């Protein structure tokens, strides 16, 4: 059954993506702006949250950066997806939490303070953990394959791209927020929402540029993205439950683990020094994650909110 399904996906390994230099420049500026906006919201209180709630913060980061990539590796080994699909899943799993997770946590009646702290720390740690995870699990996966033409992940370019497009904007945002606190308070919310719109527009641009290929494989890829996203939510929820965290923290860690910043994945994918021509499945997985996790996150958050309201009415 899976062999026939995977054979339908196999052409994705040879698809060349259509994304010109102008589009790449706009994409890089967009993700840098998003990271700058994220840094504007990182405050001293978020670091103090660790001393107030260290267990939940540590559990959330473990779910995000250790468990999800490891479980994703087991999935791609088990189901033997085409290489571009597998690398796309590993890359998405290596990314930090998405920027909309704070809103979804608030909607779900979770621990918003914990959510903001986890988002802040995952973004900061991702400068090291995202390339480290992807290079480690990606190379481990590639080494299990009998490839005639071995694929190499140029870790130097992966780290360099992340540092330039994430590290520098995050550092600039932290400096700006400290240097101009009053101005930061005024512009933070507009910058945040502009970032969300720019991010969605960026994903839409990537899809439109490759629309014919995207539509050909949309139905085939949707079950993979859906299942992977469910696994991500389940991973966060399972470790939070087994760690006996309070319900508010369980909701938060579930959402933080299931909402991934796939925009960072797309930045790496369209960097010609990192991925060769072809392997279109990597980009399609990342783009579909960027669309789907917003829908799934809103559905889960709304369900939790309604459930909480019913419980409040009963009591």
Interval 186-209: pLDDT, tens? 888 888 788 777 777 766 776 777
Structurally, the chain folds into a number of domains equal to 1
Q: Is residue 20 part of a domain?
A: yes
Q: Is residue 98 part of a domain?
A: yes
303: CATH:
1.20.1530.20
Q: Is residue 313 part of a domain?
A: no
Q: Is residue 226 part of a domain?
A: yes
Q: Which of 196, 176, 168, 164 is nearest to 261 (CA)?
A: 196
Radius of gyration over every alpha carbon of the chain, rounded to an integer in angstroms: 19
Residues 6+ apart with CB under 8 A from 12: 82, 84, 85, 217, 279, 280, 281, 284
pLDDT at 23: 67
Interval 204-256: pLDDT, tens? 776 777 777 777 888 889 999 999 999 999 999 999 999 999 999 999 999 99
Name the one residue in this structure whose structure tokens are 């799934």.
296
Q: Is residue 283 part of a domain?
A: yes
Q: Is residue 127 part of a domain?
A: yes
Q: Is residue 281 part of a domain?
A: yes
pLDDT in tens, the chain (315 residues): 567 788 888 877 777 766 666 767 777 787 788 778 878 877 776 667 667 778 999 999 999 999 999 999 999 999 999 888 999 999 999 998 877 888 899 889 888 888 888 888 888 888 889 889 998 999 899 888 876 555 666 667 777 777 887 788 888 888 998 889 888 888 888 887 887 777 777 667 767 777 777 778 888 899 999 999 999 999 999 999 999 999 999 999 999 999 998 878 877 777 655 665 556 788 889 888 988 998 999 999 999 988 876 665 555
User: What's the whole-number average pLDDT of the chain?
Assistant: 83
Q: Is residue 43 part of a domain?
A: yes
- Structural domain boundaries enclosing 91: 9-308
What percentage of the chain carries pLDDT values higher than 90?
31
Spatial contact of 34 and 95, defined as CB atoms under 8 Å apart: no
pLDDT at 208: 75
């Amino acid at each position: 059954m899976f062999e026939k399904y995977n054979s339908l996906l196999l052409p994705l390994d040879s698809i060349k993506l259509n994304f010109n230099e102008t589009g790449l420049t706009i994409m890089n500026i967009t993700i840098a702006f998003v990271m700058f906006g994220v840094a504007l919201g990182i405050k001293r209180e978020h670091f103090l949250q660790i001393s107030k709630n260290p267990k939940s913060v540590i559990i959330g980061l473990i779910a995000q950066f250790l468990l999800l990539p490891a479980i994703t590796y087991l999935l791609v080994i088990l189901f033997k997806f085409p290489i571009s699909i597998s690398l796309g899943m590993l890359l998405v799993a290596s990314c930090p939490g998405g920027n909309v997770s704070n809103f979804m946590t608030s909607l779900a009646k979770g621990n918003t303070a914990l959510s903001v702290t986890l988002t802040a720390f995952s973004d900061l740690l991702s400068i090291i953990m995202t390339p480290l995870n992807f290079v480690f699990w990606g190379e481990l996966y590639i080494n299990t394959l009998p490839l005639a033409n071995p694929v190499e992940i140029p870790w130097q370019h992966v780290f360099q791209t992340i540092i330039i497009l994430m590290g520098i904007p995050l550092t600039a945002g932290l400096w700006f927020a400290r240097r101009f606190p009053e101005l930061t308070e005024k512009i933070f919310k507009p910058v945040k929402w502009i970032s969300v719109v720019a991010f969605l527009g960026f994903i839409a641009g990537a899809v439109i540029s490759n629309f014919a290929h995207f539509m050909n494989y949309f139905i085939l890829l949707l079950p993979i993205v859906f299942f992977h996203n469910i696994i991500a939510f389940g991973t966060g929820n399972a470790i939070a439950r087994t760690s006996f965290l309070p319900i508010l923290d369980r909701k938060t860690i579930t959402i933080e683990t299931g909402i991934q910043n796939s925009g960072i994945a797309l930045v790496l994918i369209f960097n010609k020094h990192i991925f060769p021509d072809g392997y279109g499945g990597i980009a399609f997985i990342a783009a579909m994650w960027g669309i789907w996790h917003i829908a799934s996150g809103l559905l889960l958050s709304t369900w939790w909110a309604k459930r909480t309201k019913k419980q409040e009415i009963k009591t």
